[in-house]
Structure 1
Amino acid sequence: MPLYSLKEHSPCCHTSAVHLAGSVVAGHVTLAEETSVWFNTVIRGDGDAVTIGARTNIQDLSMLHVDPGRPLSIGEEVTVGHRAILHGCTIESRCLIGMGAVVMNGARVGTGSIIAAGSVVLENTVIPPFSLVAGMPGTVKKTLSEEVLEVIRASAEIYVEKSRIYGQPHLFKPME
């Protein structure tokens, strides 16, 4: 998986981070320990910083990007579902961003929240901790209990385990 420098910035990836075929990580990007970036995902830190916390997984076909003055920060043990778009926003720890969800510039998603698949969190929206958000535009549908953290942690753990397998060249390799 290519890592690309851009001007004075180069990606900084912990040695335990896994980034798989077809994914691109470019510019001012930091991947913490046991982070996984899955197939055909693009992470572009070309206008500001992208920071991804420990044990977070960015699933296949996702797009993470920034604008100047709009960094992207993702906390620890976050699951970002397939084909999600995160743009210049803050996702606090232990959140689940559903497949195909979009979170726009300046939005902030509080700890323990779930953004339902296909939802759109509009620019500068603040989602309180432990919220279930759904719709276009995304609105809080209910407050979740702290027990949801265990479900989100379990999702993160599944992807940490998968990434350990996919990160081993003798276990995951092209067929001859």
Structure 2
Amino acid sequence: MPCYSLDGLTPVVHPTAYVHPTAVLIGDVIVGPGCYVGPLAALRGDFGRIVLEEGANLQDTCVMHGFPDSDTVVERNGHIGHGAVLHGCVIGADALIGMNAVVMDKARIGERCIVAATAFVKAGFECPPQSLVMGSPASVKRELSAEEIAWKQRGTVEYQELAKRCLASLVECQPLAAVEEGRPRMGDSGFRPKGQGA
């Protein structure tokens, strides 16, 4: 992976974390145990500190950055969807940030919250635990159900397992010229996106 020390600060990646080779880590970045960092993610610790706590995932093309002296943190088991931008904010433990959402400086997303895809969370926003946050600008819509929280947690476990799978078997290769006879499919863990069966 492109990994750069800056002003004497070198990124830290726990041995049980998986960081895709195309993700970029710069300066004061700390990636904890069991984390997953997807392709083309950018973790820029060139002003403030960037932290992924244990079991968090940061998916494809996400950006984490912050102003000087800030901490941009995804707490334990946080789940950051494709293309999200986190800037100088804290994402609480077991929370989910939807695809292409933006969370701005000094915002605090409570534990076990879900921020909907494409939401824009203004600077300084705070929400209580277990909230559904939607809109642009974002606001709290309602409390999440136990079923919704369980759905989120199952998805996060899938990414924790993906980190292990990638550490064990992901290798760069050349594509095949044609589909082989009897091509197998990826294993089925039983996880289904919300609204698509049990």
- Quickly name the TM-score band, shorter chain normalised: over 0.9
Q: Relative contact order: is structure 1 or structure 2 higher (C-alpha 8 Å, sep ≥ 6)?
A: 1
Mean alpha-carbon deviation: is it higher for 65-74 or for 54-63? 65-74
- Look up the match of 2:108: 108
Compare CA radii of gyration and give the structure with the larger one: 2
Alignment of 1:1-176 (within 5 A): 1-168=1-168, 170-175=169-174
1:15 and 1:51 map into 2 onto residues whose CA distance is 15
Cα offset, 1:158, TM superposition: 0.2
- What residue ranges of structure 1 are gaps of 5+ in the alignment? none
- Match for 2:49: what amino acid? A
**SS where residue 136 of structure 2 aligns?**
coil
User: TM-score, normalised to structure 2's length?
Assistant: 0.84
**SS where residue 164 of structure 1 aligns?**
helix
Cα offset, 1:147, TM superposition: 4.5
- Match for 1:132: what amino acid? L
1:91 and 1:105 map into 2 onto residues whose CA distance is 11
2:67 and 2:109 map into 1 onto residues whose CA distance is 18
| CA contact 1:13–1:32 (8 Å) conserved in 2 | yes
1:109 and 1:147 map into 2 onto residues whose CA distance is 20
Cα offset, 1:152, TM superposition: 2.2
- When residues 35 and 90 of structure 1 are mapped into structure 2, their CA distance, relative to the original with a 3 A threshold, is same
Identity across matched positions, percent: 33
Mean alpha-carbon deviation: is it higher for 145-154 or for 11-20? 145-154
**SS where residue 126 of structure 1 aligns?**
coil
Cα-to-partner distance string for 1:24-59 (whole Å, 9 max, x where unaligned): 011101111010100000000111111111111100
User: TM-score, normalised to structure 1's length?
Assistant: 0.94
Cα offset, 1:146, TM superposition: 4.3
- What residue ranges of structure 2 are gaps of 5+ in the alignment? 176-198
**SS where residue 118 of structure 2 aligns?**
coil
